[in-house]
Amino acid sequence: MVAASAVKNIAAILNDTGLTTHAPGPNGLIGGYDVKLTATGAEVIIPDGITFDEAVAINEEAQKGDGIEKIEDDGTVILTDQAYELMHRLMGYDVKCFHPKDSDILAKKLKELYERFRKKYL
C-alpha cells in the first residue's frame, strides 16, 4: 500500500495531473494532509473550518499515539515517556531520542532486542 501510494503521488507530480489526494509529510510537515499534486509539488489543502496552524497542531498531537512526543527542527525524534518506558522495560531499548541519520543502526539494535524478546515471551 505504501509503495502504491508513493508511485501514485510521484506519477501525479511528474505528469502534472493536479490530483487531489491524501499524502504523508507534504512539504516537510508532520502528519498527513489532503494535497493537490502538480509539477511544482504538493499544495496542502486545509479543510474548511480550521486554520493551517490548527491542522498542524492536530497532526503534532496525533503523532503521540505513535509514540512520538516531538520532532525537532533538525529532525531529532523524541519518543513519548510511555513509548520509551515500555520499550525499555520490555526489551531493554534505551533510546529516548534519535536523529534519522542513526536510524539504520538503531533499527538493527531494535531488531536484535525484539528477537530476544520474541524468543523469550512469544
Q: Are 36 and 19 in contact (CB under 8 A)?
A: yes
Q: Are 10 and 4 in contact (CB under 8 A)?
A: no
**What are the tens digits of pLDDT across the range 70-87?**
999 999 999 999 999 999
**What are the tens digits of pLDDT across the range 102-115?**
999 999 999 999 99
Q: Are 62 and 54 in contact (CB under 8 A)?
A: no
Does residue 40 come out as left (phi exceeding 0), alpha (psi in the -120 to 50 range) or beta?
alpha
User: Where do we find the cell 505504501?
Assistant: 2
Please tell me the pTM assigned to this model.
0.79
Report the chain's C-alpha Rg in angstroms.
18
